[in-house]
Each structure stands twice: as C-alpha cells, then as structure tokens.
Structure 1
C-alpha cells in the first residue's frame, strides 16, 4: 500500500519504482525556482549590466557581439560552474553524512577536501600540469587521503566519530604539507596557488571546467545507483544484510563517489569549504525527509554556491572576492551552531 503524502514513480510491480515525499517534491521545485532567479541576476549583473531582453536576444543569437561574448564566454561558464559544483558538493556531503551518521561528516571536515587540494598542488607546483592532469591529481589526492583515513579508522567496521577525529588529524598534516609546498615553490606559482586555494570561480572558462564536469557526471550516476542501498543502510547493517545489501561494499562505493565529486570541484576551483557540510542538512530540515535525499541536497548546494558567488562578485564591486571567503563565513557560523548543539545534547 502506497503511504499517504507520497508520489510513486514507476509501477508497483516494476523493477524500478521510487516513492517521493510530496513535501520533498514541493521544496525541490521551490529551490529550483529560487536558483533560476539567482542565476538570472548573476547573468545580468556586473560592469556590463544586461536586461532580460538582452539575455533572450543572446539565447536566440540576435544580440550585439560584445554582449554575446560577455554572457556566453565570461558569465555563463562561471554560472554553470557554480550550479554544477554546488550540486556536486551537496551530493558529496549527503553521501558522507549518511555513511558516518553524523552532521559533521563532511569531506571538508574529515580531510578529503584537503587531500584533493594537496594532489592538485603537487601537479601544479611540482609538475606544472595542465587542466586534465590537475583534475587527475586532485582525484588521486582525494582518494589517497580517503584511503588513509578509512584504513586508520577501520576497526571491525567504521565508526563515525572515530573517522571524523582521524580525518581532522590527517587534514591538519596535509595542510602543513601544503604550506611547505607553497613556501618552497617559485613566488609566481605560490601566489597563483594561494589565490586558487581560497576557492574561486574567477576566470573559469569552458576549457577549465569541462574536465571536472566529466568526472562529476560519472560520480552522479554512481551516486544515483546507491540511493536505495544507502536508505536501507540507514536502518542498520544487520537489517541491510537481511535485505541483501552489503554494508561495506556500499560504503566504499559511496565514499569513492563522494571523493570524486569533491576532488573534481577542487581541481577546477580550489577547495570550496562548507557547502558540503551545510547543504544536506538544510535540505533535510526543509523536507523533513529521513532518507538520504540526494536531489534536495544537490539543489540546495547549487543554490547556495550560486548565491555565494553572486555575493562575492557584487558585494565589493568592481573588486571580486573568492567565493570561498563567502562560503567559509557562512559555514563557519553554521559549524559553531552545530558544535554548540552537540555539546548541549551531550
């Protein structure tokens, strides 16, 4: 019997069928509308202000050449990056928080973000790699950091708090190594890496973001196939085993997918902190959904990063801030709120 307040996608007797909460669907629609509004403002604001009519003319190819260049070559890649990267970070955060069952279970808290940053820095500073090489280096660094944390935290299974503590320690060590890399590199390379390391979407073109989009698309597909198994794992490993779901195999695949998402974003824009921490929790609070909720988390992440980048571009115009400055400011406050809440509960 179909529960009230839900939509059924597919046939009851079919192999592929999903129950969606009506509240979740409503909030996903609202988040989509809010993101479209913010995206429209992002395309129209800047030194060259454009109207909605200008955007329509650009879409149909009837706008002036300079206006088309500004919109299609400068602003649109940045907008797509903020949407896709925000969604990727939201999904990554949802995966890790589901695996660890702790609100602090975020890739930027447990060191995977820092590992991806280390891998990218090594390729940039030591090897002078191109965009594809930086993307591979970032993913390799994230996977190595994740493997180290996983192996050190594994003790007859994975305990969330143990993994978080070890992850924080690994992150601190990698941060020290990153600082050493910067201090020993050439001045120009160090300055470029430092600006990029703040987390920025400035200067992103299609050639810089397409490699990351490829990895993100693959990770999205892997994540989508894991949703049902992750929801079953929420009931505990014993119940999951009775239903034929392998807990450790599902966790490894989810961790792999989450690391790829985080590392692909880091490769193109540097480490953008706290979107992965905040987006899944805000999505869950709004939808009041006990499931993993990857779609709501993705939409919340896309909206938050697009709004943060819009603020970074226009807050001190014509000077532009790295978007990481905005996300750290928002995320730091939210992290303090989480820590206060957890201390009150304990």
Structure 2
C-alpha cells in the first residue's frame, strides 16, 4: 500500500502496520497493569485517572513519581535494545549479531562500572562512561575484523571474544570494589529497572530523540546491504561508510540503554527475529522490532514484579534465563539447517 502526502510517498504493508499497532496496544495494556503492582495496589482505572491528572495526591505520588518512570524506561530501553539488535543482525546477516554477543553491551557496562566504582560518577557521567566503553569496544571489534572490508561472521567471532574478555574485566572491577560499591554495581550489572526515576528517564529520552533520525535515515539502506556488498555498491550505496555509520548508531543505542538500566540481555537478540516472524516482511523491520522490544521488556518487568513479590528480582535475571533457552533453541535450529 502506497500512501502519498503531497511530495512525500510512504509504502505501508498492512500486515506490518497491524502487527505494530497490536504490539503497541499490548505494551500500553501491560504498562497500565504494571503500574497497579506494588506495596500499594491500585486498579487500572485509578492508574489511568491519575495519569490524566484526576488522581488524589497520594495516588499521584505513587503513579507519577514512582511507577510511571519505570514503565516508560522499560518501553524506551526495550525499543533501543531491539533497534540495536535489528541493525546488527542485518549488518552481519547473522541471528547472533546482537550487542549481547558482539561485546558492545559488556563494553558499555565496563565504561559505566569505571564511572560508578572509580569516579563515583553522577548519572550523566555513568551515561558518558557507558557510551565511551561501547564505542571503544565497537572500534576495536571493527579494526580486528577489518580485512578488505568487514564480513559479518568475522565481526561476530571477534565480538564474542571481546565480550568474554570484557565480562572478566567487569567481574574484576566488582571484586576490587568496596562492599557498598560492589553491592550497588552487582545489582546494576544484572540489569534492573528497580528504583528508576525521572532522573534516568530524561537523558534516555533526549538521547533516543537524537538517535532516531540517523537510525531511520541509514536504516533505509539496510535492506540493500542485506543483498551483499557487491549488489549494494551497484545500487549506489557507499558500503563501508554506511556500515560504519550504522555500527555507530547500533553501539550508541545499546550504550544509552545500558546506562539507563544496566546490561539487559535477550531483548536485542530475540526482538528483531520475533518481529520478522510476526510481520513476514523482508528487510530489517525496525519499527516492528522496536515495538516488540518494548513489549518484551515491559512484560518481563511485570512478570518479575508479580512472580517474586514483595521483593522483585532485577529484570535482567529473568531475561537472561529466557534468553539462554532461546539461544539454545536458535543454535539447534541453525545446526539442523546446516547439517540435515
């Protein structure tokens, strides 16, 4: 379906549009239910009234100050991780092309841990540390994988090695910290939305607002890169420049998400693949991936609040458990495709 707005035309696939709308509605519904959960139970109607400005002072404090920022951070972090994973999987043409495995998330965590444990940094300094760590890791992976261009499988293999080394470095930083710092860092490094407030939400919102335009602009060329470097060049795509720009966008998205909630696994790996299956559309499907990532993280956070009440676990523990199962299934499926 082709929609025209004066000089601008937009191609919309009905199935993809319906899937995205459904995912957004489910995310909204689960987010509203999530805000009813806690030490002071509320009804969905009370939550909606309060968000619209008709709640009493006590309910307004609980909803607007404590629970709403948590849900919004879950939505934005899930979308950022899913977009990062969708870009990487498309660039590498590999289902394991995810910031969780290529080392970008662990690199961001290393930078953030240094800011937390060594410099006792503020939220802005932690975000900067995560961005520097992720960018440095991506640059090193790119240089090590570069040989007359960057092939996807080489980038994945180099990234897995860097990820293991960075994970060891993160564990070392935690063990060398003071007891108080180690407890705070260990809670953060598992990936958590507990205690998140507007302080973490505002920088995340600003960063994503700045990142979305280049993601959309360069994302239009992802489908051409999936055809192969030679075909992409024949169609006028500057391959290495575009790949480097998309790699930078992916790293920054993962770093911003990690700074806000810690290294949450599984979402960047699974969301893009689930989105492709739901939409059955060619190409990376960035919008559907972002909507799927938001839904996955909001649903996971609701699950840890309900299943492990009154002391909810960090959401990263649940996503890691689910992600391990999903990874095992993915590896078995790929093995069967290649060997049966």
TM-score when normalising by structure 1: 0.95
CA apart distance, 1:59: 2.9
Give the ranges of 4+ consecutive aligned residues of structure 1 lying more than 6 Å apart after TM superposition: none
Contact 1:219 1:258 (C-alpha < 8 Å) held by counterparts: no
Q: Which residue of 2 aligns with 1:170?
A: 162
Match of 1:83 among 61, 68, 75: 75
Aligned 1:26-65 pairs, distance under 5 A: 26-65=18-57
Which string of whole-angstrom CA distances, capped at 9 and with x for unpartnered residues, describes residues 53-110 of structure 1? 3123313433221111000000000000000110111111100001000000001011
CA RMSD of aligned residues (A): 1.3
Unmatched tracts of structure 2, length 5 or more: none
Structure 2 counterparts to residues 150-299 of structure 1, below 5 A: 150-299=142-291
Q: Distance in 2 between matches of 1:239 and 1:174?
A: 36
Q: CA contact under 8 A between 2:33 and 2:44: conserved in structure 1?
A: no
Is the partner of 1:108 in helix, strand or coil? Answer: helix
Structure 1 unmatched ranges of 5 or more? 1-6
> How many Å separate the matches in 1 of 2:52 and 2:159?
49
Q: State yes or no: 1:119 paired with 2:111.
A: yes
Aligned residue for 1:95, secondary structure, equals helix
> Match of 1:10, SS?
strand
Identify the residue that residue 10 of structure 1 maps to in structure 2.
4
**8 Å Cα contact 2:32/2:48 also seen in 1:** no
> Is the contact made by 2:77 and 2:260 (CA closer than 8 Å) also made in structure 1?
no
Structure 2 distance, partners of 1:56, 1:193, is 35
CA deviation after TM superposition for structure 1 residue 313, in Å = 1.1
TM-score (norm 2): 0.96
Aligned residues: 338
